[in-house]
Amino acid sequence: MKHLTILVPDSQTGPNTISCIVGTYHVFTEANRYYDKLNREPIFNIELAGVSKQSNFVNGLLTVMTQKDITTIQKTDLIIVPAVISNFSAIEAGNSMLSAWILDHYTKGANVASMCTGAYLLASTGLLDNKNCSIHWKSAANFHKLFPKVNLKTEQIITDEQGIYTNGGGYSFLNLLLYLVEKFYDRQTAIYCSKIFQIDIARQTQSDFMIFNGQKSHGDEMVMRAQDYLENNFSEKISMEKLSEKFTVGRRNFDRRFIKATGNTPVEYLQRIKVESAKKELESSRKTVNEVMYAIGYTDIKAFREIFRRFTGLSPLEYKNKYNKAVIK
């Protein structure tokens, strides 16, 4: 039987930390139970492990008792790293011991999966350097600032690379659990768990959940003014050449500084502003897709659809049908 270690962080925890821990234990226990019903040997021995006997969550309202001290685990096959605080800045206390332990056991052959902001702990090991990683879109800017060598893929629900798995934000860790069940058990067991826990097994992206808020903590005053201009005039026809002249900066240098500060080219930034405005209109108004398109400054429906799908994973009409209450009725 393989060994599954669910890590219990020593500090820097939030409400979603305990959700990830309990959810993982529940889903894998059910997968084992399903195998047992089929007269098959369960895949995992599941244990909660940490550096202390218990950890407190939600201002002490909840407590999780660990079953093992990590130092007593000689071998494990799969490590689950639950979410931590979203305003992570540096690893603290016993979590640094967890980070070192993860690195050690990965080098010994263990697979590692981080959930949502658990990617902070995983990235602190260096194992995510030059690898793809998903995380909650709201934490992306802070994460990139702390771990610039990691290739962020915030539009993806799950990344899978060299025995390292990450997933997006919130309760999308449930989709990662189904993915892992299918990988370590089989497709049939994953489908069974999806039905028992009512988790959508077909979900591939978190793009339509993302809310675009331009990166503003970079300290480049020129880029900040350019961002403000784009955000206040996005429905008009904007020439990036003229915009760079407006701030007396050469176009190449303008693009370079903008990308460094925001993570987007000026054109991409403008597109994302337009799409975010379109999303709000499609969610709450009775405007048609064409009316929304014209309102944000597009005249080509094909181009609008392509750009909208690139950032949301859905067509404008699919998005409206999914989120507009009037349409749902």
- Least confident interval from 1-15, 105-119, 124-138, 191-205: 191-205
For residue 277, what pLDDT band results from cuts at 50, 70 and 90?
very high
In the predicted model, is pLDDT for residue 248 greater than 80?
Answer: yes
Is the alpha carbon torsion for 69, 71, 77, 80 positive or negative? positive
Q: Which residue has the tokens 């994973």?
A: 313
pLDDT per residue over 206-232, tens digit each? 666 666 777 787 889 999 999 999 999
Average pLDDT estimate for 110-121: 96
Give me the residues paired with residue 62 across strands: 57
Distance between CA 231 and CA 235 in Å, rounded?
A: 9
CATH topology of domain 2-209: Rossmann fold (3.40.50)
Question: Residue 328: what pLDDT?
Answer: 53
CATH architecture of residue range(s) 221-328: Orthogonal Bundle (1.10)
| Distance spanning both ends of the chain, measured CA to CA | 50
Question: Residue 268: what pLDDT?
Answer: 94
Question: Residue 200: what pLDDT?
Answer: 84
Q: Are 280 and 287 in contact (CB under 8 A)?
A: no
Average pLDDT estimate for 263-271: 92
Q: Are 241 and 250 in contact (CB under 8 A)?
A: no
pLDDT per residue over 11-45, tens digit each? 888 788 999 999 999 999 999 999 999 999 999 99
Q: Are 20 and 80 in contact (CB under 8 A)?
A: yes
Question: In the Cβ-directed half-sphere of 39, how many Cα atoms lie within 13 Å?
Answer: 0
Question: One-letter amino acid identity for 315?
Answer: S
With pLDDT > 90 as the criterion, what percentage of the chain qualifies?
A: 69
From 14, 9, 309, select the one nearest 170 (Cα to Cα): 14
How high does pLDDT run on average in the chain? 90
**Alpha-carbon distance values, 170 to 145, 161, 192 (Å):** 21, 21, 23
The better pLDDT of the pair 276, 94 is held by 276
pLDDT per residue over 156-166, tens digit each? 889 999 999 99
Please state the domain extents for the chain.
2-209, 221-328
In the predicted model, is pLDDT for residue 329 greater than 60?
Answer: no
Query: What b/e string do you get for 248-279 counting C-beta neighbours within 10 Å, with b at 16 or more?
Result: ebeeeebbebbeebbbbebebbbbbbbbbbbb
